[in-house]
Every structure is written in structure tokens, then in C-alpha cells.
Structure 1
Amino acid sequence: MALQIDGIMNEKEGYWYKNNNVSGTGDDAQVPWGRGAIFYPNPISLGTFVTGYLSLPESFWNFKLDRSTVIREQNGKQAKIPLYVTNHYDAQKIKRVVIVWPGKWRDSWRYINMMGNAYLVAQKYPELNVNDGEVYMMSPVFFNQLDELALKDDELRWKDYGWSAGGTARSPEEFKHISSFEVIDHLIEMSLDTSKFPNVEKVVVVGHSMGAQANLRYAILKRPKKYDDRVKYWIGDPGSVIYFDEWRPVMKHNCSDYNSWPYGLNDQSSVPLYNRKRAGNGGAELVKEFNNRVIRFGVALDDNGRGNNHCQSKMQGPNRIARSSQWISHRGDSWPSSHSVDYVPGVSHQDYVMMAYYYSMKFIFSEDDR
């Protein structure tokens, strides 16, 4: 039905999201269905994602910047990842951990703040059974080369947006082999460490926009672990997807590598070293594992922005809603029962609105989610 929307496959269609359809951008307004939940504006950093960040917010309402998390140690040196984490909590009460990917702006402080606001809204719906103090949140900071003044010598740094595709760090020198996906692995394992959180039942990995692209790629490539049945994924409005065959809805664009990572699994050599060995045979083994993961997709019905503007993305459709819808439709009968989709009416490319949508909150925060 979404693919029957007038103009959805028209490259020259005017942007439907030019004006936000729903108030509540995550920066200055609560969603209309907030039921009186307190709304905390997003913190402000010094610098921008274009020029680089000079310093990061240290703390804001119930979150703080933690720069002590060690991802790897080698020859007496450490590789650390800065994290925004829940500040005040009782580890005994934590039942669920939510890990939030940043978006294109690398603004983890903003994304964890929006997720925190969505958590407050979820508590206003008694049927969701979401209780204060039972959710711990964290969001990693993926620095790149522009952020030299903000990062410390022992903190991991990527090139450009390589972190969103499982790329390896570029510094510190001793740890250039560490993938951004290994960082998420580490955070999940830390969440399920009973010495830290003795009563955690579920871990939910969340991403919107570029964070959604990263989360989809991670869910496909993730190394299998015994704890995988305790991990879920929420993926909202990705700018591109990953196909499992050579078909694309728009074949007129001349991209010889359109089926290579991070747009397809045909070329094993293009897959990150993180799990390249298991990406043979067109990624059949990876697809099988991906289909067993519990995943919720959120697609905003008015999000016809271009998003990822690479040639490989254009072959998937002219805009975000078309790309997601074509991919969902093409998978057809191979769509697994563990995957589900919410088409969200009246919403454009609005991160907070998508996170605070009722069924998104239910999946992310509620015990009664599947």
C-alpha cells in the first residue's frame, strides 16, 4: 500500500517532510501524546559535525559523559570509547538496557536525551508497564578525524562515517583493527554482565536515520553469541538498506558495486573484517542468523527525503520511504515472523517522534513487547 502512494518513486517529487507534520522534534517540543511527561531539551555541544566538535556536554538531567570504558588493552595501552550513560540508578532494579546509536551528526548526547524523553512518555501509559528506574541507557560517541580537539589520546576515532558500516578505528595506532561493531558487542556483553546488572532481561539496540543504517548493518553482520535471544533491534527510517540478492527497483543508475557492502553481500571482500569469514556464499549464513533476530522497523509515511545520496542508494529508490518499502515488499514470503514493521502516519524524518511513537516505545521499553 505504501508503494501505491502518489509520487513515491518520483525522483523529482517535492519533499513531503519540508514542514514537520507532528510537533515534537526532540529539540524544543514534546509529542502531542506525551500525556504531561516532563520534556528535557537536548544539550548543546561546542562545535558541529561539519567542522568538528571542540567539547562535549558533560552532564544533563539524568545522563553523564563517561570516558572510562575500556574496549581493548594491549601492551600496557588502552582503547576507550566515550559513553553517555544513565547517571543515577540502582543496578539491582535494572531490567532492560537500551543502547542508542548516534545519527549522522555523531551527536550521541542528543540521541540518548531523546530516548530518555521517550522513556518518560512510555511511563504515562499504564498498559505498557514501564516503571521508573528499570531501564539503563547508553550511547557511544564515535569520533572522527574532525573531532581531534574533543577526543583524548586513548579514545577510538574513525574516518568520516566509517563507524556506521562496521569500519575499523583509525586511531590510536595500536587499535586500528577495532570495528565499531565490536564496540556494540562490548556494550551488550557489559549490559548482560551480572556483576554490573544482576537482573537485566533484555538489551535493545536502537538507531534512527544513519544510526538505523548502522543498526541494520550490525544486525546482519553480528557475530552469533549465546545471549542473542536476549537482544532486540529497533531500526527507524534508514537512508539505505542491504539487499540479499542482485535485484534493485531502480536499475538505470550505473553502479558496478551496487551489491557490495554496505548495500549488498555479493562481494565478500568488501565486508568488514569484523565478520568477513562468514560472509561467503552471498552471505547466506548471515542472512539466516539475521532472520532469527527480533527486529522492529519504523517507517515514517511522510519521509520522502533522499537520505543517503550515493548511487548505490538511488538504485534502492529515490527516498527513504521508497527504499524501505521496496525492500520489505521484495523480501515477500522470506520475511521472518521475528521481524515486524510500523508505518507511522503523519510523520516525516523526525527522530524523536519516531522513538516516542506508541509502538516504538512498546517494543523498546515494555515487557509486553513480543
Structure 2
Amino acid sequence: MLPSILSKLSPKNKIMQHGCTWNKFSFKPHNINHDVAIELAVEVHQPAQDKVHTVLIVCHGRERDAMQILRQARQNLSDENVLIIAPKFLNGTDSANTAGQASNLLIWRGNDWGEGGPSKSTAGSPITSFEVLDAIISYYSDPTRFTRLKKVVLVGHSLGGQLVQRYSVLGKATKHAEHLEPIFVVMNPSTYLYLRDDIPYKYGLAGRQKAFAHYSSAASISTQELTLRFRQRKVHYLHGERDLGTGDERPLAMAQGRNRFERSQNWCNHLHSLVWPATHTFAYVPNVGHDAGKMMASSHFKSIL
């Protein structure tokens, strides 16, 4: 079931934080009205609606600097007809700066949004960050809204990369047309979600039914069905050759490898061992570390777009 979009983006549909103006994207999952603070590329660069051929959704990292990753994406695109959207996933440290806003503004606990986790309970039941991506993808992949649309790309770096990788496995990613199925780009995540029922979520699939009790795409589908769907999706993994940091140092993260680079190699080897389809690709960006801007400046990233 598609989320119900309640309002279009407009100059009146805004909040204030850190002295900056943010757009709000309103949607209604499970018949409950919530708002998620979204910083939108359309405020920086909005092609004429009938000229948009690509929608690029970019997810920030742990620092939640949506404006920064939005600018980095914009700087590395020469095509004027790419619409770019950057959601901002607020957490508890943002609460004081959004005082006085509507009670249904979505805020997460710490970094929970990066694993698809539920928001804090606001004016209704919690909403997962996966549902936020569902709503954004549903709205911006509608060919009746963008008549020349050919491609929808969801990209994330660092913690945003973890979000996109997990969403590529568990998310609905509803498509309005066969050719508009989202393309996923995972850049420099600290860890990966393995398709194994003997490893607890967020590193494996064990316990996902409890973690996503109200999100059927993750909770109600068997591991076999998830794996089949995941195999059919287009997922590109990009990693900086110099990204040797650890990020997550918990035991289950370290079990994936000593650092982000080694973990990416192990994930690649894991998929190859399963005879994974060519719709999943791997590329290593030379002379680049944990830097979203340089990753998006690479020929590997640009070739995807």
C-alpha cells in the first residue's frame, strides 16, 4: 500500500532550524499524519517539471548535514535536468532547535534512522526511516508528475550508506513503472546487512520481525523471498580505497572486517560466493577516503547517473 501524500512542497510548508529554512515533506503512512524534515534540492536547483529525467535522493551521514551532501551532489552534476532531494533525519540533539514546531515532526533517537529504525513516538505511532524513503520514492517516481522521468537513484554515504544498503534489502521501494525501479548506490558504509538468520539485526536478519513489527516489507517476508527480491534490484557499491576507518567497533561490526575497506571486500566476496547477479556492481575509487564529495566526483559515480 502506497503512503498517502498529504501536501506538495511550497514556500509555506517550512520549519526553522539553526537559523535555516527547511522544507517539510508531509505524508501519511498507516493513516497517521506525520511530518519529516526534508531539505530539498528543489530549493537549490529545480528543473522544469516536464524536463526532469532523473531524480537523485541523497542521504547524509552521522553528522546529518543534508545541505552539505546536497551541495556536493549538485557540484558534481553537469546535467541541469536532474532533480536532487536530500532528506534530513533529525535526532534528539536537534530537538531544542526545533522547539515550537508541530508535534508530528519526526525525530529519531541517536543514529537509529541509519538502520531503518523507528522515530520517537510523536503524534502517533513511530515511523521508520524506511517509510520515509518509501514516501519520497513514491512521490518522485510518479511519471504522471514527471512525464520525462527515466531514472530514480537513491544514494547514501557513511551512515547514509548503511541506511541505503539496508533499505535495498528490506525496503518496499515501490515503483510506478518497470523502468522506474530505484537504483541504489551504497558508498562507504561502516557495516553491511547480511542475509543470514543467525546474526541479529542490524548486521543480519535475526529479530527483524520485532524491529519492524509494523513494516511488512521487512517483517512479513521470508528470508528466501527477501533474497530473491534483493537479487533482482540494481545496487552499486562504491568504496574509497583510502577509507580505512572503523566507524562501528562493536563485536558484530568487527566480525565483518577490521575496517570499512576490509568489510567492503568481505561483503563483495560474500555476494560473489552466492553467484550474485550482474545487477549488483562493486567499484573502488582510487585515492579517496571517507569523503562523500570526492566519491560523487568519481567517474564511477557519474557513470551510474
TM-score of the superposed pair, with normalisation by structure 1: 0.70
Larger Rg over CA atoms: 1
Give a deviation string over 1:282-324, Cα, whole Å, max 9, x none: x221121111111111011111101122221011111000001
CA distance in 2, matches of 1:185, 1:221: 11
Alignment CA distance shift 1:78-1:224 (3 Å): closer
Displacement, 1:268? 4.1
Taking every aligned residue pair, what percent have the same amino acid on both sides?
26
Query: Does residue 55 of structure 1 match 2:40?
Result: no
Q: Which amino acid aligns with 2:257?
A: G
Give a deviation string over 1:111-137, Cα, whole Å, max 9, x none: 111111111xxx2xxxxxxx32x1101
Query: Does residue 348 of structure 1 match 2:305?
Result: no
Whether the aligned pair in 2 keeps the contact of 1:271 and 1:279 (CA below 8 Å) is: no
Alignment CA distance shift 1:111-1:226 (3 Å): closer
Query: Does residue 115 of structure 1 match 2:73?
Result: yes
CA distance in 1, matches of 2:19, 2:218: 34
CA distance in 2, matches of 1:168, 1:348: 30
CA distance in 2, matches of 1:140, 1:181: 12
Q: Which has the higher contact order (CA 8 A, sep 6+)?
A: 1
Match of 1:184 in 2: 133
Give a deviation string over 1:196-219, Cα, whole Å, max 9, x none: 322211110000111000000000
Aligned residue for 2:199, secondary structure, equals: coil
Match of 1:28 in 2: none
Whether the aligned pair in 1 keeps the contact of 2:138 and 2:174 (CA below 8 Å) is: no
CA distance in 2, matches of 1:146, 1:245: 34
Alignment CA distance shift 1:220-1:358 (3 Å): same
Displacement, 1:343? 1.0
Matched residues, number = 279
CA RMSD, Structure 1 to Structure 2 (Å)? 2.2
Query: Does residue 332 of structure 1 match 2:272?
Result: yes
Alignment CA distance shift 1:163-1:346 (3 Å): same
The structure 2 residue matched to 1:156, chosen from 88, 96, 106, is 106
Alignment CA distance shift 1:72-1:332 (3 Å): same
Match of 1:218 in 2: 167
Match of 1:260 in 2: 200
Unpaired stretches in structure 1, ≥5 consecutive residues: 1-52, 59-64, 124-130, 247-257, 366-370
Whether the aligned pair in 2 keeps the contact of 1:103 and 1:211 (CA below 8 Å) is: yes
Alignment CA distance shift 1:160-1:56 (3 Å): farther
Alignment CA distance shift 1:360-1:224 (3 Å): closer
The structure 2 residue matched to 1:208, chosen from 157, 164, 174, is 157
Alignment CA distance shift 1:194-1:335 (3 Å): closer
Q: Which amino acid aligns with 1:100?
A: V
Give a deviation string over 1:304-347, Cα, whole Å, max 9, x none: 10112222101111100000101111222422110111111111
Query: Does residue 84 of structure 1 match 2:39?
Result: yes
Unpaired stretches in structure 2, ≥5 consecutive residues: 1-15
Whether the aligned pair in 2 keeps the contact of 1:191 and 1:200 (CA below 8 Å) is: no
